[in-house]
């Protein structure tokens, strides 16, 4: 069997329709959108048409959408920009305990370098935050709350509508990282009640290096970059016209495929979870069966390191990712799973299988067939497995 890719949460192949839409802007449509001549005007028209398409997809005004290089930049713009704008007036941040590092690290920087107080909004065993906990943490000094829409490791979809009810009552800015949800489930900034929302294209069959930040009209952010009037001086730099056109096409395709993709991948995910957990002992699903993006299946294998499973499956032509990060040569447990209260050894044995449009039942059967002997071999070598049992 050909190589099998189950790491769609990391990135996805670019859809051929998206490539076709981008090609003219890599060729004869090379003008700078800020130039006043005909080459520039053509690029500007394409840029603004794409802005209108993307804005309609998330239900905002085109003027509220700012193009970036991707989710990480959008998250940094929101967190740092809001904090620096309000510095001297407010000095407190609340971010989800299971946030992506693109939110956590800017918040930690503000705490260490700028004196902001930082509180992490806790989650329960399934990864959900509560309104009561948020009410307890926020106050008059809270500048920003940032809670991601769908978690990149577990797929858990937070009840953002309930959380923003709290921040609207208190006049606190709310940002959500919707990198893993936009294009997979409905994302409507008005319905969600958010002040800022980050999205990107490469998680949903679009180009890498292209993203956007929704900033609700009236919200002021301190700029992080200087040097031009692009994107109303909020994100100076020559616009990536080709990438933005690709992003618009990506979301167009996602819109017409969303229900079908969701249904098909949900069926595949349910099948995979059932087969793995019944075929192998001591395997645990991290997060709920529902209220998550179905693309994401996070499983812990008792007694073994996730990285060992990833490397062993890679030899078999199967790509997935560990639920833990490798730093300075030492495998650290996933902060997401630790925040959910999972034991350290369970967190270190976590694997994220993330599915996509190309995933088939035949591929999953092959993965299950290869996974069983890999897990058995690693457990036979592990001094921990017997002790854990």
Q: Give the Cα separation of 166 and 161 in Å (integer).
A: 9
Please compute, for residue 331, the number of CA atoms within 13 A of its CA located in the half-sphere on the CB side. 16
Considering Cα of 55, then 10, then 8, then 94, what sign does the dihedral take?
Answer: negative
Q: What are phi and psi of 183, to 5 degrees?
A: 95, -10
Q: Which residues contact 55 (CB under 8 A, 6 or more apart)?
A: 61, 62, 64, 65
Distances in whole angstroms, Cα of residue 300 to Cα of each of 84, 167, 224, 250, 369? 40, 35, 39, 33, 17
Q: Give the Cα separation of 62 and 54 in Å (integer).
A: 8
Exposed (0-12), middle (13-18) or buried (19+): which is 298, by Cβ within 10 Å?
buried
Q: Which of 242, 264, 320, 326 is catalytic?
A: 326
The answer to whether residue 242 is catalytic is no
Which DSSP category does 383 fall into?
S
Coil/strand/helix, residue 302 = coil
Question: Do 97 and 122 contact (CB within 8 A), yes or no?
Answer: yes
Question: Do 166 and 131 contact (CB within 8 A), yes or no?
Answer: yes
Written as six digits, the tokens of 67 are 């193009």
Written as six digits, the tokens of 129 are 């935050």
Give catalytic residue positions: 326
């Amino acid at each position: 069997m050909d190589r099998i890719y189950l790491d769609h949460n990391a990135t996805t192949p670019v859809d051929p329709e998206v490539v076709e839409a981008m090609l003219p802007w890599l060729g004869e449509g090379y003008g700078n959108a800020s130039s006043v001549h005909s080459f520039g005007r053509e690029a500007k028209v394409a840029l603004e048409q794409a802005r209108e398409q993307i804005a309609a997809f998330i239900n905002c005004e085109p003027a509220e959408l700012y193009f970036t290089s991707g989710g990480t930049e959008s998250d940094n713009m929101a967190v740092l920009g809001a904090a620096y704008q309000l510095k001297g007036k407010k000095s407190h941040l609340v971010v989800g305990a299971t946030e992506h590092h693109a939110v956590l690290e800017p918040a930690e920087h503000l705490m260490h370098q700028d004196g902001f107080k930082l509180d992490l909004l806790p989650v329960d065993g399934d990864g959900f935050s509560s309104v009561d906990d948020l009410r307890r943490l926020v106050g008059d000094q809270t500048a920003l709350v940032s809670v991601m829409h769908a978690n990149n490791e577990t797929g858990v979809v937070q009840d953002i509508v309930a959380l923003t009810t709290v921040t609207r009552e208190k006049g606190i800015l709310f940002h959500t990282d919707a990198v893993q949800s936009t294009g997979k489930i409905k994302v409507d900034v008005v319905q969600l009640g958010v002040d800022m929302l980050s999205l990107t294209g490469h998680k949903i069959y679009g180009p890498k290096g292209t993203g956007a930040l929704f900033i609700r009209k009236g919200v002021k952010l301190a700029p992080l970059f200087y040097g031009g009037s692009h994107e109303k001086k909020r994100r100076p730099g020559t616009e990536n016209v080709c990438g933005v056109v690709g992003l618009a096409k990506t979301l167009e395709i996602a819109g017409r495929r969303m229900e079908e993709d969701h249904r098909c991948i949900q069926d595949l995910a349910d099948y995979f979870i059932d087969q793995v957990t019944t075929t192998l002992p001591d395997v645990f699903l991290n997060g709920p069966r529902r209220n998550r993006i179905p693309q994401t299946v996070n499983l812990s294998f008792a007694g073994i390191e996730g990285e060992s499973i990833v490397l062993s499956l890679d030899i078999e032509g199967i790509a997935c990712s560990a639920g833990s990060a490798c730093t300075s040569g030492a495998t650290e447990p996933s902060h997401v799973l630790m925040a959910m209260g999972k034991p350290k050894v369970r967190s270190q044995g976590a694997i994220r299988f993330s599915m996509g449009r190309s995933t088939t039942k035949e591929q999953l059967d092959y993965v299950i067939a290869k996974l069983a002997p890999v897990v058995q071999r690693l457990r036979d070598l592990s001094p921990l497995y017997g002790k854990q049992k």
